[in-house]
Amino acid sequence: MSDYDYDYFVIGGGSGGVRTARIAAGHGAKVGLAEEYRVGGTCVIRGCVPKKLLIYGAHFAEDLVDAERFGWTVNDKSFDWQTLRKNVLEEVDRIEGAYTSTLESHKVDVFHDRAVFQDAHTLKVGDRTITADKICIATGARPGRFPCEGQEHAITSNEVFHLEKLPDSILIAGGGYIANEFAGIFNELGSKVTVVNRSDKLLRAYDHSVVERMMHIATIKGIEFVYNAPFAKVEKREDGGVRVTTEGGETLEADLLLAAIGRPPNTDGLNLEDVGVDLTDKGAIRVDDASRTSVDNIFAVGDVTDRVQLTPVAIREGHALADTLFGGNPWTVDYDCIPSAVFSHPPIAQVGMTEAEARDTLGGVEIYTSDFRAMKNVLANRNERSLYKLVVDSATRKLVGAHMIGPDAPEIMQALAIAVKAGLTKEQVDATVAIHPTMAEELVLMR
């Protein structure tokens, strides 16, 4: 018999926490999990899943216009925000139920309470004291706040899915994927959108030429961009709107302010310092390649470690940890060539090195591009061009990076990521017969 209540206890019921708990239980471990809010975490409850559903809904604004060129007559077009919001939140409820059922079917004990360390093996979970041989922290991250007066007048991505009505105008602070995705959503749904960035660059991790194309298209669609404008003060107007004063003295006003300025790790209040778990300067949990913290029996996966803040990465980290600890199959996550996407309008996707990174790292590179209008856009008279780029190592002819912006770019990139990850050469890509007519065929026709 074990000296502990559980072989494995997971703090946090997000994607990484649910996966590691389920896999560990499947290996025969006695597993408990604490989630103080809702099972599913940021991705399912207030992140990528509901946001992608809003993106689908928003894109109908363009599709209904384009339909007329394809012979369709669409009369009395109108949009009801509360219908979309209601259906999205109901889908979130459904998925949360599925996550919970998965844990229960694997006999994971779920506690809907906050867990706090008392010592390396002991947790206070609500009003219970629970002990565990091994503990995994999977508490994720939270939306960042402005370091200025009036920060409480902004909403974050946590609240945006619950708005009672759409704003006529919105300021979105941030230059990352969250800011640009919500900019596209609100713009398509009819709000006047202004993206305000504290620096002079958007989407720093993405290829420069693809980001430039996204900004060009977004500007034509009516989104405004303000750069080098860190906030000095946020005020509430008498009519309920907001007034922002930048450090440069500029004043910006709108009905709503959305803060999308990064996601700091959720480590506050867990009592980690007293237990001896080391944190980075940014408050993330410091772990080794096997997700082990500075305390031998305590581990951490997902956004709380701030390695790569992506749901599929958290899932793989949690799976690897459970297999290693309880499955007799030790393995670690390979962080090389992780594909990613920005679900803007149109979306961006990439894998591997950007052109700039390849030139700095490899020296000799060859760049192949295709700049074209998708067939659907041509007939719709929509002057919106896609851009595909392949980055090739001159010495080995291997494909080391791929970048694209255009309809369905993330769907296409998932398959292309296999080629980059596998180290296929440009000649092997060229030898692949095209599927015609498709946008994706451009990838095998670049010469």
**pLDDT of 276-301, one tens digit each?**
999 999 999 999 999 999 999 999 99
Q: Which domain holds residue 229?
A: 151-259
Does 331 fall in a domain? Answer: no
Among candidate residues 326, 359, 375, the one where a domain is terminated: 326
Residues 110, 32 share a domain: yes
Does 338 fall in a domain? Answer: no
CB 45 within 8 A of CB 38: yes
The answer to whether residue 266 scores a pLDDT higher than 70 is yes
Query: Residue 416 is part of a domain; what is its CATH number?
Result: 3.30.390.30
Residues 246, 169 share a domain: yes
CB 23 within 8 A of CB 325: no
Q: What is the pLDDT of residues 87-124, one digit of tens each?
A: 999 999 999 999 999 999 999 999 999 999 999 999 99
Residues 238, 191 share a domain: yes
The answer to whether residue 196 scores a pLDDT higher than 90 is yes
d(CA 217, CA 162): 28
What's the total number of domains in the chain? 3
Residues 135, 15 share a domain: yes
Q: What is the pLDDT of residues 216-248, one digit of tens each?
A: 999 999 999 999 999 999 999 999 999 999 999
CB 121 within 8 A of CB 135: yes
Give residue for tokens 């629970």: 130
Does 33 fall in a domain? Answer: yes
pLDDT of the residue at 2 = 75
Please name every residue paired with 10 in a beta bridge, in sequence order, or none if there are none. Answer: 33, 136
Please list the alpha-helical segments (H only) found in 341-425.
355-362, 375-379, 409-422
69 Cβ contact partners less than 8 Å away, ≥ 6 residues apart? 379, 380, 381
Residues 238, 159 share a domain: yes
DSSP label of 443 = G
Query: Band of the pLDDT at 189, cuts 50, 70, 90?
Result: very high
Query: Residue 105 is part of a domain; what is its CATH number?
Result: 3.50.50.60
- The catalytic residue positions are 436
Residues 156, 134 share a domain: no
Residues 292, 246 share a domain: no
The first and second tokens of residue 367, run together, are 């760049």
pLDDT of the residue at 245 = 97
Q: What is the pLDDT of residues 32-61, one digit of tens each?
A: 999 999 999 999 999 999 999 999 999 999
Residues 163, 136 share a domain: no
DSSP string, 56-99: HHHHHHHHHHHHGGGT----S----HHHHHHHHHHHHHHHHHHH
Mean pLDDT of the chain: 96
Q: What is the pLDDT of residues 403-416, one digit of tens each?
A: 999 999 999 999 99
Q: Where is pLDDT greater, at 387 or 76? A: 387
Does 1 fall in a domain? Answer: no
Does 373 fall in a domain? Answer: yes
Query: Band of the pLDDT at 363, cuts 50, 70, 90?
Result: confident
Residues 137, 11 share a domain: yes
Does 70 fall in a domain? Answer: yes
The answer to whether residue 131 scores a pLDDT higher than 70 is yes
Residues 168, 126 share a domain: no
Residues 135, 32 share a domain: yes
Does 424 fall in a domain? Answer: yes
Does 103 fall in a domain? Answer: yes
Residues 76, 177 share a domain: no
Q: What percent of the chain has pLDDT over 70?
A: 100
Among candidate residues 220, 238, 259, the one where a domain is terminated: 259
- Strand-pair category, 169-173 with 128-137: unpaired
pTM here is 0.95
Query: Band of the pLDDT at 1, cuts 50, 70, 90?
Result: low
